Every structure is written in C-alpha cells, then in structure tokens.
Amino acid sequence: MRATALLAMTGQSIWLDNITRKLLDSGQLATWIKELSVVGLTSNPSIFEKAITGSNDYDAQIRPLIAKGMKPEQIFFECAISDLTRAADLFKPVAQRTGSVDGWVSLEVSPLLANDTAATIAQAIDLHARANRPNLFIKVPGTPEGVPAIEELIAAGVSINVTLLFSEAHFAAAAEAYLRGLERRAAAGLPLGAVSSVASLFVSRWDRKTAPKLPAELKNTVGIAVSRACYHAYCTLYCSDRWLALEAKGARPQRLLYASTSTKDPALSPTLYVEGLASPRTVNTMPQETLIALSKATTIGSVLAPSDVSWRAVLDTVTKAGIDLKVCAAELQIEGRDSFNKSWIDLIANIETKSAALAS
C-alpha cells in the first residue's frame, strides 16, 4: 500500500500545495485525487507567479482581458479564479463524500493588504462572491492586522484559510478569531456549519532560520517540535467547554494545517516533515515533489498522539542553545509576509510585461 493511503488512514488529509493550468488540463490533478489520496489544494502568490509567467498556458485568457482594459492585478484574479473554480469543481465529489471536511481549494487576498484590516475584509468578500464556490477558502494572513479581519469574515460566513502562522501564539490568535466569529454567528441565529476554516502553520522555515545558529544535533528539529506544540494546543482547545458548546450548535473545528512541508536541505529525507507530523484531524499540504516522494514509500512511521509532549524537551534545549523562539516566530511571520509581497510584486510586473507583449 502507498504511504499516501496509509497517511490518509491515520485521519490526516493530504492536500496539494500547487496549482497550474497544466495540472488541470492534463488530468494530472484528477489522477492524484484518484491514486494518491489528494483531497484538497492550496495556492499562494509564489505558486501563481511561476504558473502564469513561466508558461504560455494563460495567454489565450489574458488577451481578451487586455482588450477589456484590465489592469495586471485584475488579470491575475481572473486567471486565478478560473483555475481555482475548476479545481473546486474537481474536488466537489470529495467535499460531498466527506461532508465538506475536505475538498477545499484556497485563493489568497493580495499580500500587500496584510497590514490593512478593512481592505483585507473588502477584497476577501469580493473574491468569495466572484468565485462562488462553497468549497473555496479565502486565504488571510494571521498577522496582527489580519486577525480582526478573520473574525469579521467568519461572522459574515466567509470560510477562511489563515496563513502565515509560525507559533503556538499565532495559532491561538487565529483560533480565537475563528471562535469569536462563530459565537457572533450563533448570537445572530446564523448557521455555524455553513462556515469553515483551517489554520496554516509553516514548518520548514523554522529549520532554515535556526539551523545556522544550532549545534548539529539540534539542526532541523525546531520545525517539527513547534508544530507538535501547536498540535497539542489544537487538541486541548477542541476538548474545551467553549468549543463543545459551539460544536453542539453545528460548528466545525478550524483544522490545523501543516504548510511549507518540503525539506530544503538535500541531505534530509524529502518526507521528513510529513512523517514527523502524521496526526489525526489535521491537514498536510505538500508540494508535488513531496507528494511524489511520499507516494513511493510504503510506511509512514508513528502517528502523533494528542498527549505527546516530547516537543517540550526539544524546545527547552533549543532555547538554552540561544534561540529566542518568540522573537524567531515574529521574524518569520514578517519574513513570510515580505516574501509573499515580493512574489506578488514580481507576479504583477511579469503579467504587465506579458500583457504588453501579447498586445503587440
């Protein structure tokens, strides 16, 4: 049996962290859904930058948009919504089969809005309405300015993928925003089961940042340890009286999603973060290289238990070695935001260049 199937049997959902028109047109995504237990999909500005500007696959759609006088950002969202609504339709049977636990795709608001709560809310509502798919998340960063937007959007019935989370404190802020949004819906007499969310924790960037500062025996241990700490907090939260009261009214848990799960060090196993974070009722969104590597394996190792606290010793040792985890988490969130900003700016500039070439 493939390790992808074994991982799915543990209760963890496999989502693909990629989208291109070629994946859709070639039938490759449909094949992975059928054969590799893929039950959802995520995207981000970096992924779309490579997809749109690195091929001619979007030229036929872009030409008439140029003729209509659309700006590069408008052209991007037209292309992205086209891809993601097709993917959402492809995952519709998965959503039906799982009661909308899985079958989701994600579309991100402009990263340039990460520090603007009101603009984030407005664009998220607009994109949600334009996509018009019940299994499409709008991605909103879990920055200090993004957290209030998450509460407002959940209260308004917009399902959210909270991105750019790096610590237990970041997860707690995202979860609190989700719960407050649900409680507002309950108070207004609105259905709670109509809205959903995931909290996306970035894993490998921890190790890329801390490895140069740590002794050999601690390198590449921080990402998994921080993620396990978040899983422990996640399990604790969804046993609380506060959550159970919402669940009794039909609410869905905001599932913990492990993102950035490809290894950056070629000396490491490509499935290091997958095997280290096999845990029930969570999601692992994988780049296709990681997905393929996992599909070639036949085991996944142990499954993480909610009671596991081995991460405490690891994080204590890392702290004693000179790593300030709170400071690192804050820096990682800013660096992640800035990285997405750069990809977005590059994407818009490249679409502008492509548009000029196509127009001529």
Q: Is 306 exposed, middle or buried (0-12, 13-18, 19+ CB in 10 A)?
A: middle
User: Using CA atoms, how far apart are residues 312 and 318, in angstroms rounded to an integer?
Assistant: 10
Query: Cα 50–53–54 angle (5° rounding)?
Result: 60
The DSSP-derived string for 152-166 is HHHHTT--EEEEEE-
Please check whether residue 311 is in contact with residue 229, taking contact to mean a CB–CB distance below 8 angstroms: yes
3-state DSSP: the chain helix, strand, coil percent, rounded to 5?
Answer: 55, 10, 30
SS3 for 197? strand
Catalytic one of 22, 68, 139, 326: 139
Residue type, 267: A
SS3 for 10? coil
Catalytic residue flag (residue 209): no
Please check whether residue 197 is in contact with residue 138, taking contact to mean a CB–CB distance below 8 angstroms: no
- In whole angstroms, how far apart are CA 213 and each of 180, 219, 319? 39, 8, 11
User: Using CA atoms, how far apart are residues 251 and 186, in angstroms rounded to an integer?
Assistant: 9
User: Using CA atoms, how far apart are residues 195 and 212, in angstroms rounded to an integer?
Assistant: 42
User: Using CA atoms, how far apart are residues 318 and 214, in angstroms rounded to an integer?
Assistant: 8
Query: Residue 356's beta-bridge partner residues?
Result: none
Which sequence positions are flagged as catalytic? Answer: 139
